[in-house]
């Protein structure tokens, strides 16, 4: 997958999460301290967000920073991610069926699944609160 496609997919995930959090671009901009025009370009896949931008938007969007960095491809097993350093990491408790099914998919599909799961977890969390 090339950077343009990766940027579009990440942008779609970010936009879905912003909408699920019932936030406008202007509200996210205000909370994250990033211009709404830049955020809009990221959501449309015209710009790939830097680690700095991801750090600023993670909290307001309800993402754990490491989740968002993994979705963006900044963290991976090859780059010494948490999973490589911490043997108690939740990935070691992954259901074998889930691991098998996801293991047959491309990294892009795996990241999309993680993005959708994150959105669903955030919706469930907001319904509990």
The burial of 52, by beta-carbon neighbours within 10 Å (0-12 exposed, 13-18 middle, 19 or more buried), is given as exposed
25-53 mean pLDDT: 94
Interatomic CA distance for residues 14 and 103, integer angstroms? 24
What CATH homologous superfamily does 3-128 map to? lambda repressor-like DNA-binding domains (1.10.260.40)
Tens digit of each residue's pLDDT (9 = 90 or more) over 63-112: 888 888 888 887 753 444 444 444 333 444 667 777 777 777 788 888 88
Flag whether pLDDT at 23 surpasses 90: yes
Please report the pLDDT score of residue 41 as a whole number: 96
Residue in 79, 81, 55 with CA at minimum distance from that of residue 68: 55
Residue among 50, 62, 79 at smallest CA distance from 14: 62
Residue 14 has pLDDT above 90, yes or no: yes
């Amino acid at each position: 997958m090339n950077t343009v496609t990766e940027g579009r997919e990440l942008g779609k995930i970010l936009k879905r999460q912003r909408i699920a959090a019932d936030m406008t671009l202007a509200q996210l901009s205000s909370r994250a301290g990033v211009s709404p025009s830049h955020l809009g370009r990221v959501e449309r896949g015209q710009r790939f967000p830097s680690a700095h931008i991801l750090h600023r938007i993670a909290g307001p969007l309800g993402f754990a920073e490491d989740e968002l960095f993994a979705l963006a491809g900044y963290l991976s097993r090859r780059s010494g991610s948490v999973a490589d350093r911490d043997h108690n990491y939740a990935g070691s408790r992954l259901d074998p069926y889930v691991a098998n099914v996801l293991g047959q998919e491309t990294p892009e599909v795996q990241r999309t699944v993680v993005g959708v799961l994150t959105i669903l977890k955030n919706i469930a969390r907001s319904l509990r609160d």
